[in-house]
Amino acid sequence: MKLILSIFIFITLFWFCSDSTSSNDENPERPTMVAKQINADLQLIEYGIDAYTSTTNDIIIMWNKHPDANNIKRYDIWHSDDVGGQSNYTLLGSRETQFNHDTVYVHQNASLDTVHYYFVIAIDKNNNKSEQSDTVHYKLIEKATNLKYDETGLNELTFSAKYELYKAPRGSILRIEEIFKSEEPWYYIDYVDQFVHSDGFIEYVISGNTYTKIFSNPSNYHWRIDLVVDDLEYNGSETDWQEFNN
């Protein structure tokens, strides 16, 4: 009886250890990138790879939460600026899985007028690596400059900026958001085609019924101007936020 019991315990331990070893050696699933929405720059939440709102030239990369997130130690972000993104990828940086910020990465000071390609690899707590994610790309253009906000008349606001004529974008987007709004988020977006401001000067005037509708209550706001080119989803720039009270 003792012999049978010993054999049973040995087989059970062998099976458990073998199963654990197999599980530990299994590579995690590859990450999936956040899909880029059509006209993402005109939405409240801009999902997918995009220019990043800052004072420098940055790109934000986004991927979805891993299905086995509790077992993932970090993500490695790889980058290439080769034509077509077919080769010469180097490790750009890593994102440790902590808090709620483990599915975004900001590539700071990225070069302008260059297509940047990225993919992400997940590494689990046993240092097993996933296959690479799909590749995503983005090209930054020069930001708008000389941003100005003026109360140009009674119930009238003017937002303006400039850009280099020799790098004329397809169009521009004015985005205004209310700061620290606790209820449903509020935002205002206006898109203007390039031919409207082909002299290098961008101007948005908010007045009349539009002014009354969106600025009916005094509050704190911030605003920025995005520039876009022909491939609206994968090319562009975003200025840093500018604040105003109304």
Three-state SS for 199?
coil
Return the pLDDT at 29: 95
Q: If 0-12 CB within 10 Å is exposed, 13-18 middle and 19+ buried, where does residue 216 land?
A: exposed
Return the pLDDT at 76: 97
Superfamily of domain 40-140: Immunoglobulins (2.60.40.10)
Instruction: Write out pLDDT tens, residues 192-232.
Output: 876 566 678 888 999 988 888 888 777 889 999 999 887 77
Return the pLDDT at 197: 61
82 has pLDDT over 50: yes
Alpha carbon dihedral 70, 73, 74, 75, in 10-degree steps, equals -60
Return the pLDDT at 8: 41
Question: Is 113 or 183 the better-scoring residue by pLDDT?
Answer: 113
Q: How far apart are CA 71 and CA 112, in angstroms?
A: 37
Q: How far apart are CA 246 and CA 244, in angstroms?
A: 7
Cβ distance 43 to 50 under 8 Å? no
Most confident of 19-23, 37-41, 52-56: 52-56
Q: How far apart are CA 133 and CA 62, in angstroms?
A: 11
Correct CATH for 145-245 of 3.30.870.10, 3.40.50.300, 3.40.1280.10, 2.60.40.2060? 2.60.40.2060
> Do 145-245 and 40-140 fall under one CATH topology?
yes
Residue 11 backbone dihedrals phi, psi, to 5 degrees: -65, -40
Return the pLDDT at 178: 87
Strand order in the sheet with 50-51: 50-51, 59-62, 104-107
What is the average pLDDT across 174-201?
78
Q: Please report, for the chain, the start and end positions of each structural domain, with discontinuous segments joined by +.
A: 40-140, 145-245
Computed over every residue of the chain, the mean pLDDT equals: 84
21 has pLDDT over 50: no
